[in-house]
Amino acid sequence: MPRPKEHVVTLSAGDRRDLTGVVSRGAHPARMIARARILLELDESVAPASDRRVIAERAGVSEGTVYLVAKRFTEVSGRVEEVIGRRKRTRPPIEPKVTGDVEARVIALACTKPPEGFDRWSLRLLEKHVLLTDGIPPLDHSTIGRVLKKGGFVLI
């Protein structure tokens, strides 16, 4: 006796029409089209869905992909666009070194009088002083230049 289905997909007529349009036009990314095909195959509002293995063969994906699409459908409460579309990152892969506080401190350093023996600040000189300043992560001279340019500060 087969296991009861954990994630049942039932599509409304509008969702079904939209997914059919995505599949038939072919103007979308391949993964989006594959997910749309899977959802159409998993739809139980018209007839009982086939086995995962059969759906995977028809859509040209693995059984795990079929399972994950069905699971995602139930997680997002049936919002089809979120299932077939690409997920947005909640945060960047690497935290940025330059935050608002760091920007303000670099600009404030650039506004001070240059050290003795120098007429003006250069990016390389600022880089050396940023290394000596507590609370500011080590920044490259090109990064310092971008921060100053973004802040509207021009080194003369």
User: What pLDDT score was predicted for residue 3?
Assistant: 57
Same domain? 80 vs 109 = no
Domain membership of residue 138 (yes or no) is: yes
Same domain? 51 vs 104 = no
pLDDT digits (tens, 9 = 90+) for 99-133: 899 999 999 999 999 999 999 999 999 999 999 98
Domain membership of residue 72 (yes or no) is: yes
Which of 84, 118, 142 is the last residue before a domain boundary? Answer: 84
Domain membership of residue 34 (yes or no) is: yes
Same domain? 24 vs 60 = yes
In the chain, % of residues over pLDDT 90:
56
pLDDT digits (tens, 9 = 90+) for 17-59: 999 999 998 788 999 999 999 999 998 887 888 888 999 999 9
Q: Which of 20, 4, 73, 9 is nearest to 42 (CA)?
A: 9
Domain membership of residue 156 (yes or no) is: no
Same domain? 19 vs 70 = yes
User: What pLDDT score was predicted for residue 140?
Assistant: 93
Domain membership of residue 89 (yes or no) is: no
Left (φ > 0), alpha (ψ -120 to 50) or beta: where does 152 sit?
A: left
Domain membership of residue 57 (yes or no) is: yes
User: What pLDDT score was predicted for residue 46?
Assistant: 79
Q: Which of 73, 25, 36, 85 is nearest to 58 (CA)?
A: 36
Query: How sure is the predictor about 1, in pLDDT bands with cuts at 50, 70 and 90?
Result: very low
Name the CA dihedral angle for 19, 20, 24, 26, rounded to a multiple of 10 degrees: 0
User: What pLDDT score was predicted for residue 2?
Assistant: 56
Residue 92, pLDDT above cutoff 80: no
Distance (Å) of CA 102 to CA 5, 61, 96, 139: 53, 47, 11, 10
User: What pLDDT score was predicted for residue 139?
Assistant: 92
Which of 84, 108, 140 is the last residue before a domain boundary? Answer: 84
146 is in which domain, residue-wise? 100-150
Distance (Å) of CA 51 to CA 4, 10, 41: 12, 15, 10
Domain membership of residue 1 (yes or no) is: no
pLDDT digits (tens, 9 = 90+) for 64-73: 999 999 999 9
Indicate the number of domains in the chain: 2
- Residue 9 phi/psi, 5-degree rounding, is -110, 120
Domain membership of residue 8 (yes or no) is: no
